[in-house]
Amino acid sequence: MVNPILLIIAPLSAAFIIPLMGYGLKRIVKFIPPLVMGFNLVVSLSLAPKVIKNPIIVFLGGFPPPFGINLYVGPLGILFSCVISLVGFIVSIYALNYIKQGAEQKYHALYLLLLTGATGIVLTGDIFNLFVFYEILCISSYALVGYTGEKAGIESASKYLIQGSLGSSLILIAIALLYGKFGTLNMADMASRIDSVHTMELFFPLVLFITGMGVESAIFPLNAWLPDAHSSAPSTISAILSGIAIKIGIYALCRVIFTIFGATDILQFLMLLGLVTLLVGEFSAFSQDNIKRMLAYSSTGQIGLIVFAMGVGTQYGISGGLFQFTTHALSKSLLFLTTGYMIYRAGSMKISALEGMGKKMPLTSVAFTIGAFSLIGLPPFIGFPSKFMIVYSVLARQSGLYIVFLALVLAGTVIEGAYFFKVIQAIYFKGERKDDRAKEAPLSALIPVIILVLLIIGIGIYPKVLTSILDSSAAELLDRIGYIKEALK
């Protein structure tokens, strides 16, 4: 059996090898990320069937928890790890030709670091370790946002940095408080000692966690950095930030709320938070004329939907939320990747500049359309089963208030549909492009796009491939006792 720690080690070591290789082997540097992420993908997929049956616990320091740091590779972790390595792999293929200007090696190194952080967060069983990986993720994403050195990127990165660091400080305070209370950093151990959240001492850490992780996971009103950062970064980075980074925040949030605190009494609040995030995100996206900013706001909206689904708090609801996470990871990275070359060819991020692209870049345009359809939740694309599950889970609660919430969520979806359809119309049915500069994207960009499209359609038609892992992931989140037992075995 492959040791799951390789999932973290491989990208981490590769990230540090890349700058060294920069001295002689510049040409092949860019092939390392696809290789590493491909390796990660294979490892994750090969681990998945085993993990669904029994989670794998790896002791890092050689001694068992609660004293040593451990990795807890459960279904949830492996689901996230699969999606991270999949999206990471696809985006790195895309980057082969796309990233040309600027510090190429640094880009690749930072990219791998970001994915290291993300993988580490989802696999670790130790709260401080989670924080460390979280910081790796954050710092590398600050750097990636600003790495081109352009005006917009630098500005966004600085703003992102201030807000993100404030958020991580809050998390650190919460960790300190929890450590002071329980004297342990292992999540399972911590969870086993928390009986209820009603005491004030537990309340503060929880609030600090929500706020701190809310910044990275872009919950309203903590998401002010997101539209700036996602829109000014290069498209590959936007794809990875939107597809992976913010979801990792959600993962951390869910771990804390469900596993450590078992705080089921704040779920309704979480739902409300998700709803507000969704509505604000969709409304803000509605009147955007900058395509990447629009996609960024749409990410906020989708995060709201995921948080909303998590807030339903039932097995089915959380499965739906995780499904929506997968949907969004695939669809939004597809959208960012397709717009990447469209913007590159058009020379502007304005939606009006993309008019008539349907003729010049037919495959890219079709892929964009499919991504948008999927995000809106139209069958037969992947967005439909996830929306299906969320709606079902909310209605299964049989409560009037929940139906009102659901109606608002679906209203948000309608707005989302409106602006995506506007872009689709612009691409296909507006304007004529006379200039010959716009041509179809290169093969290295089309292959990842086609892989994503096939995945989106395939899973959309046959969602069963995901249901087993989703169900056991949701069970892992809901079953605290099981988690504690497994981790402290």
Partner 1 sequence: MDFLNNYIFYIGAFGLIFIGLYILLTRKNLIKLIIGLSIVDTGVNLLIICMGYLKNGTAPIFSRKGLNPETMVDPTPQALVLTSIVIGVAVLAMALSLAIRLYQHYGTLDMRKIKEQKW
Partner 2 sequence: MLIQSILIIAFGGAFLTYILGKASSALRDFLAVLISVSLTVLIFLAYGKTGEIAFASFMNLPLVLRINHLSWFFAIAIQTVTTLSVIFSLSYMKGKERVDFYYLMMLLCNSAMLGIVLSGDFVSFYIFWEIMSWSAFLLISYNRGGALYAGMKYIVMSIIGSMCMLIGIMSLYSTYGTLNIREIHDLISTASGEYLLFISILFLAAFGVKSALWPIHVWLPPAHSEAPSPFSAVLSSILIKMGIYGFVLILYVISGAALYLGLGGGSFRYILTLLAAITIIIPTFNALMQDDAKRLLAWSSIAQIGYIILGISIGTSLGLIGGLFHFFNHVAFKALLFLAVGAIEYRTGTRDLNSLGGLIKKMPVTFIAVLAGTFGLIGIPLTNGFVSKWLIYKTLILNNHPFLAFAALVGTWGTILYSYKLIHNIFLGQLPENLEHTKPAPASMKLPFIILSVVIVLFGILPGIPLKLINLITASLGFDLLNINIWGIASESGPLNIINIFAAFAVALIVVWFFFLISGKKVVISQDNSYAAGIDVPKGKYHYTVDFYNPMFRMIKPYFRDYMDEFYSQLVKALASLSDRVRRLYCGDLGVYVIYIVLFLSILVISKIGLNLW
By the rule CB under 8 A, 413 interacts with partner 2: yes
Q: Which of residues 279-318 bind partner 2 (CB under 8 A)?
A: 280, 283-284, 286-288
By the rule CB under 8 A, 429 interacts with partner 2: yes
By the rule CB under 8 A, 417 interacts with partner 2: yes
Task: Give Rg (Cα) of the chain.
Answer: 21
Q: Which of residues 119-158 bind partner 1 (CB under 8 A)?
A: 128, 132, 135, 139, 142-143, 146, 149, 151-152, 154-158
Burial class (CB in 10 A: 0-12, 13-18, 19+), 142: buried
121 binds, among partner 2, partner 1, none (CB under 5 to 8 A by kind): none
Asked if residue 434 lies in contact with residue 426, where contact means CB atoms within 8 angstroms, the answer is no
Tell me how far, at minimum, the Cβ of 463 lies from partner 2, in Å.
6
- In whole angstroms, give the CA distance from residue 5 to residue 259: 22
Tell me how far, at minimum, the Cβ of 332 lies from partner 1, in Å.
20
- In whole angstroms, give the CA distance from residue 74 to residue 439: 45
What DSSP element (H or E) covers 390?
helix 383-396
63 binds, among partner 2, partner 1, none (CB under 5 to 8 A by kind): none
By the rule CB under 8 A, 387 interacts with partner 2: yes
Tell me how far, at minimum, the Cβ of 228 lies from partner 2, in Å.
8
Burial code (b: 16+ CB inside 10 Å, e: under 16) for 303-314 equals bbbbbbbbbbbb
Stretch near partner 2 under the rule CB under 8 A, chosen from 85-93, 99-107, 129-137, 222-230: 222-230
387 binds, among partner 1, partner 2, none (CB under 5 to 8 A by kind): partner 2
Stretch near partner 2 under the rule CB under 8 A, chosen from 23-31, 133-141, 324-332, 388-396: 388-396
Asked if residue 345 lies in contact with residue 361, where contact means CB atoms within 8 angstroms, the answer is yes
Please select the residue that binds partner 1; options are 40, 70, 217, 231, rule is CB under 8 A: 231
Please select the residue that binds partner 2; options are 201, 265, 289, 435, rule is CB under 8 A: 265
Angle value at C-alpha 301, between 295 and 306, nearest 5 degrees: 125
Tokens at 38, concatenated:
């491909």
49 binds, among partner 1, partner 2, none (CB under 5 to 8 A by kind): none
Q: Which of residues 158-197 bind partner 2 (CB under 8 A)?
A: 158-159, 162-163, 166-167, 170
By the rule CB under 8 A, 211 interacts with partner 1: no
By the rule CB under 8 A, 418 interacts with partner 2: yes
173 binds, among partner 1, partner 2, none (CB under 5 to 8 A by kind): partner 1
Asked if residue 330 lies in contact with residue 452, where contact means CB atoms within 8 angstroms, the answer is yes
DSSP string, 435-467: -S---PPPHHHHHHHHHHHHHHHHHHH-THHHH
By the rule CB under 8 A, 103 interacts with partner 1: no
Q: Which residues contact 131 (CB under 8 A, 6 or more apart)?
A: 168, 171, 172, 175
Q: Which is nearer to partner 2, 13 or 165 (CB)?
A: 165
Please select the residue that binds partner 2; options are 123, 175, 208, 484, rule is CB under 8 A: 208
Please select the residue that binds partner 2; options are 20, 414, 443, 465, rule is CB under 8 A: 414
- The amino acid occupying position 403 is I
Which H, E and C letters describe 235-266, residue by residue? HHHHHHHHHHHHHHHHHHHHHHHHHHHCCHHH
DSSP string, 23-87: TT-GGGGGGHHHHHHHHHHHHHHHHHHHHHHS-EEEESSSS-TTTS-EEEE-HHHHHHHHHHHHH
- The amino acid occupying position 33 is P
Q: Which of residues 282-311 bind partner 1 (CB under 8 A)?
A: 284
Please select the residue that binds partner 2; options are 76, 95, 96, 266, rule is CB under 8 A: 266
Please select the residue that binds partner 2; options are 211, 264, 290, 444, rule is CB under 8 A: 211
Task: From 228, 236, 237, select the one nearest 157 (Cα to Cα).
Answer: 228
By the rule CB under 8 A, 405 interacts with partner 2: no
| Cis amide bond preceding 64, omega within 30 | no
Please select the residue that binds partner 2; options are 403, 404, 454, 465, rule is CB under 8 A: 403
What DSSP element (H or E) covers 176?
helix 151-182
Tell me how far, at minimum, the Cβ of 429 lies from partner 2, in Å.
5
Q: Which is nearer to partner 1, 182 or 392 (CB)?
A: 182
Total Cβ atoms within 10 A of residue 46:
12
Total Cβ atoms within 10 A of residue 202:
20
Interface residues toward partner 1, by CB under 8 A: 128, 132, 135, 139, 142-143, 146, 149, 151-152, 154-159, 161-162, 165-166, 169, 172-173, 175-177, 179-180, 183, 185, 227-228, 231-232, 284
Interface residues toward partner 2, by CB under 8 A: 158-159, 162-163, 166-167, 170, 200, 203-204, 207-208, 210-211, 214-215, 221-222, 224-225, 227-228, 265-266, 268-269, 280, 283-284, 286-288, 373, 376, 378-380, 384-385, 387-389, 391-392, 395-396, 398, 403, 406-407, 410-411, 413-415, 417-418, 421-422, 424-425, 428-430, 463-464, 467
